Amino acid sequence: MPKKRRSKAFWKNFKFKYKLTIVNENTLEEIVGLRVSKLNGLSVLLCVLAVLFLIAACIITFTPLRNYLPGYMNSEVRSQIVGNALRVDSLQAVLNRQNLYIMNIQDIFSGKVPIDSVQTLDSLTAVREDTLMERTKREEEFRRQYEENEKYNLTSITSQPDVTGLILYRPTRGMVSGHFNAEKKHFGTDIAANPNESVLATMDGTVILSTYTAETGYLIGVQHNQDLISIYKHCGSLLKKEGERVKGGEAIALVGNSGTLSTGPHLHFELWYKGHPVNPEKYIVF
């Protein structure tokens, strides 16, 4: 009974109405009278907050301000990034061809390469120096022995993923602090980033791993098409669970500093193809 009485008293006090009046000081005439309660005041406050939230959501959704949200990138920016990456790759190819051409011309002038071995000048932009030079008997013998020994060695075959026509998103914004080095068992690229920066899926796929380990902290793995798997380690928190489908460029985790092997806020990103680690910097512009 005492609890019911206290509850009734609370609601009675909460619904109790107060009268707010504005009185003319000279005539003491009541100009405006308003009867309000605590419940009415709370309702008005919630309505005002809801309206402000809707206005802010509309501004962010329909204005360029949405581009400043973590993990969001419009189609125009994505196309510009892809176009710039293709232009850089084309310029690098042209520069390499020019370097080969100049190198081969210098070797022809110096007598290292016989003139008769050059069919056309255009071939100098695609043929390396050593292919134009005559092989010695010692080199021929070494090549023959090596090819014979490695003929049935399946481990010598190195496969590389075919990413023609694919768009690989940069997993997070930051600076590369550690490069891929298979000899030192560092099978990924380290990207120094701000804490809680969004970690994006590099391509469409399915989450196959979302867990925590003592050394790598929070990590998440995504299976993609073309036999590709991407791994994201040392995250601060995970946003996706195993079995969920994700889109390329979608936020799947947040940058952190978890795990005993981490020395600061960063993302360790790995890319695997058919069970072999590949250098992510060859396929993604960081």
DSSP 191-210: EE--TTPEEE-SSSEEEEEE
What secondary structure letter does DSSP report for 105? Answer: H
Looking at the fold, whether 193 and 118 belong to one and the same domain comes out as: no
Does residue 19 belong to any structural domain of this protein?
yes
In degrees, to the nearest 5, what angle opens at C-alpha 18 toward C-alphas 16 and 21?
165
Angle between helix axes 2-15 and 38-62 (nearest 10 degrees) is: 60
Same domain for 182 and 275, yes or no, is yes
Domain assignment present for 58:
yes
> Which one is predicted more confidently, 101 or 205?
205
Check whether residue 24 and residue 115 sit in a common domain.
Answer: no
In a domain, 234, yes or no: yes
CATH code, domain with 275: 2.70.70.10
- Do both 58 and 106 map to the same domain? no
Spatial separation of the C-alpha atoms in residues 73 and 90, rounded to whole Å: 25
Residue 180 confidence (pLDDT): 94
Same domain, 269 and 217: yes
For the ranges 45-54, 94-103, 178-187, which has the lowest average pLDDT?
Answer: 94-103
Which tens digit of pLDDT belongs to each residue from 59-102? 777 776 766 666 565 666 777 888 888 888 888 888 877 877 78
Do 182 and 252 have their domain in common?
Answer: yes
pLDDT value at residue 200: 95
Beta strands in the chain (DSSP E): 17-23, 30-37, 175-178, 188-192, 198-200, 205-213, 217-223, 228-238, 245-246, 251-255, 266-273, 276-278
Q: Render pLDDT for 250-272 as a digit per residue (tens, 0 to 9).
A: 999 999 999 998 889 999 999 99
Residues 30 and 104 in one domain: no
Q: Which residues contact 44 (CB under 8 A, 6 or more apart)?
A: none
Region 142-159: what's the mean pLDDT?
62
How far apart are alpha carbons 267 and 191 in whole angstroms? 5
CA dist 280 and 192 (Å) reads 15
Please list, residue by residue across 192-227, b when 16 or more beta carbons sit within 10 angstroms of its beta carbon and e when fewer do: ebeeebbbbbbbbbebeebeeeeebbbbbbbebeee
Question: Residue 101 domain-assigned?
Answer: yes
Note whether 54 and 113 are same-domain residues.
no
CA–CA distance, 129 with 116 (Å, rounded to integer): 14
Q: Are residue 252 and residue 189 in the same domain, yes or no?
A: yes
> What DSSP letter does each residue of 32-52 carry, written as one string?
EEEEEEHHHHHHHHHHHHHHH
Note whether 207 and 276 are same-domain residues.
yes
User: Residue 100 domain-assigned?
Assistant: yes
Number of domains forming the structure of the chain: 3
Q: In this structure, what is the dihedral angle of CA atoms 237, 243, 248, 252, given to the nearest 10 degrees? A: -10
Query: Left if phi > 0, otherwise alpha if psi is -120 to 50, otherwise beta: which for 285?
Result: beta
Q: Which residue has the tokens 């005539």?
A: 27
For CA atoms 212, 198, 229, 249, give the dihedral sign: positive
* Residue 268 lies inside a defined structural domain of this protein: yes
Same domain assignment for residues 277 and 183? yes
**Whole domain around residue 24: which residue ranges?**
13-72
Query: pTM of the predicted model, to two decimals?
Result: 0.47
Residue 154 located in a structural domain: no
Whether residue 264 lies inside any domain: the answer is yes
